[in-house]
Amino acid sequence: MPRFLVRTLLCAFVASGLWAQQTEVVLSATSSAKLVLAMTSPKATGLDDTAVATEFTAVLKRDLDESGVIAMLQEGLPADGAPTKAWKEAGAQWLLTARLSKSANGDLHMEAAALDTAADKGVFTRTYNANRIVPLRYLAHYLADDLVGRLTGEKGVASSRIVFVRQVAPGVKEIFQVDRDGAGLVQLTRHGSLTLSPTVAADGRLAYVTYKGGAPEIWGQRRKDGPHEKLFPTSGAGSMLSSPVWSPEGKRLAFVQGDRRGNSDIMVLDLATNRARRLTDGNGINTEPSWNPNGNQLGFTSDREGGPQVFLMQDDGSNLRRLTGEGLYNASPTWSPNGAMVAYVSRFEGKFDLFVYKLGEGKAYQITTGVSTSESPAWSPDERHLVFTSNRFGSSQIFTTDLSGRKIVRLSDLAGCQSPRWIRGR
C-alpha cells in the first residue's frame, strides 16, 4: 500500500530511411479509433524461420496490439502475393511488409514498408541496421514504435523500459530494469540494503534512496552514464529521506525530508550548488512529490486538512491548492507527460484503485476496480497507459493498463515489486 510516512544496453542501433509524404497524422493522440493493419509473412535471409516467427513476428503483433491505436487483422487473410484490393476487402487499412537479413558477422538489416490499401499507395518506408548484439525482437519494437509514430505523430513505447524496485532477500531491495514486454531484466543497483524510490531523468540518469550506510541517503548519477554517488546529504548524517524525483530539465531533485516528530516536508535540491530548500513548512506529512512537465509546479500528498489528499503548488511553494475533492484517502500523484492529467490512488474499503484527474475538466475518472489493490501509478511516455503494482495474483507484481482500465496486462511474473517508473528506451 502507499507508504504515506516514507515512500518511495542502450543497444547499438542505427535507423535510417525515407519518410516521403509522411507529415500527415492519421490519428490524433486522444483518438479512440484504431487503424486495422495486416502483415504479410516477413521475408528472411540468413535467419531461422522459427526465430523470425517467435522473436520478430509475434513480438511485433503484440507490440502493435498493445499500442492502443492499431488493431492487427488476424483472420481471413489473403495469400501473401494477393493484390492490394484483396487485403482491402479483407478489412486491412494498411498492409505491412518486412524483409530481414542477417550478415555473416551477425549484423541485422530490415526494410519495412506499409501500403494504404484504399489509396493503393505507400505511407511508410523505413530501413533499420543493427549490430549483432541487438536481439531480433528489438527490431520488432523499433518498427512498432515508428508505425505508431507515423500514425499518431508520436512514437510508440514498445522499445521503452520500466525501472522498479524488487525484494531480492529479507531486508534487501534493489533497483531493476525490464523491457516494455517483460524481457531483458537487468539489475541496476547492488547495494545489499534497502534501495528504494527510483527516479530517472530525461537523459537516463538514475537517482534513488538507499540505506547502504545505515541512515537513508539519496544516491544517483550527476552526469549521464556517470558513477553512482551520494547526492544528498553531501556531508554529515542524514535525516529521514524519501521519494526523490528528477525535475524535467534534470538539474533539480524534489524529495521528502522528515523529522523525529513524524512530520515531513517537500524539499528541492539544486544539483549545481548542492543546496536544498524547503517548499512546505508546517506540522503534518507532505510527501510523494511529482513535477509537471514544465518544471514549474509540483503535485504532492499531504494530510494538512485531515486525511491524505493530493495538492498542487508552484515550484517555490506558492499558490498551494487542493486537487482531489472526493474520497477520504487520495495519494501517490503523478503528472502526465503533457501536463493535462494527474494519476493517483484512492482508498476505499481497505483497497486502492487508480484514478486519473483531468485538469481541463476538473474531474477524476476511476481506472481500476476489483477486489485487489492497485498502487504506485506512473505514466507511459506516450500518455496512453499507466504502469502500476497490484496484488491481484498474490504478491505485488507489475501491470500496465490503458486509460479505460479494460486492458490490464501483467508485465512479468516477478514478485515483490514496487515503485515502477516508465522511461523511453531510445
Query: Which residue, 387, 283, 391, 274, is CA-closest to 336?
Result: 387
Helix (H) or strand (E) holding 137: helix 136-152
- Ordered by start, the domain boundaries in the chain are 13-152, 161-423
Average pLDDT rounded to a whole number, residues 312-341? 97
CB contact at 8 A, 271 and 252: yes
What is the C-alpha separation between 84 and 26, in angstroms, rounded?
20
Residue 188, classified by CB atoms within 10 Å of its CB into exposed (0-12), middle (13-18) or buried (19+), is middle
Instruction: Supply the DSSP symbol for 340.
Output: S
| Superfamily, domain 13-152 | TolB, N-terminal domain (3.40.50.10070)
Query: Which residue, 31, 24, 16, is CA-closest to 68?
Result: 31
Could you tell me the pTM of the whole model? 0.89
What nine digits make up the cell of 161? 523500459
The full length of the chain comes to 426
What nine digits make up the cell of 293? 512537465
344-371, pLDDT tens digit by residue? 999 998 899 999 999 999 999 999 997 7
Average pLDDT rounded to a whole number, residues 283-304? 96
What is the C-alpha separation between 288 and 244, in angstroms, rounded?
8
Q: Which amino acid is at 164?
A: F
Q: What is the largest CA-CA distance in the chain?
A: 74
Cα 62 to chain centroid distance, Å, stands at: 17
Q: CATH fold of 161-423, please?
A: Neuraminidase (2.120.10)
What contacts 199, CB < 8 A, 6 or more positions away?
A: 206, 207, 208, 220, 244, 245, 246, 253, 421
Q: What is the pLDDT of residue 14?
A: 38
What is the C-alpha separation between 249 and 386, in angstroms, rounded?
22
Tell me the residue ranges of DSSP E strands in 247-383.
252-258, 264-270, 275-278, 286-291, 297-302, 309-314, 321-322, 330-335, 341-348, 351-358, 363-366, 374-379
Instruction: Supply the DSSP symbol for 226.
Output: P
pLDDT at 423 over 80: yes
Of residues 4 and 322, the one with the higher pLDDT is 322
43-94, pLDDT tens digit by residue? 999 999 999 999 999 999 999 999 989 999 999 999 988 999 999 999 999 9
Residue 284, classified by CB atoms within 10 Å of its CB into exposed (0-12), middle (13-18) or buried (19+), is middle
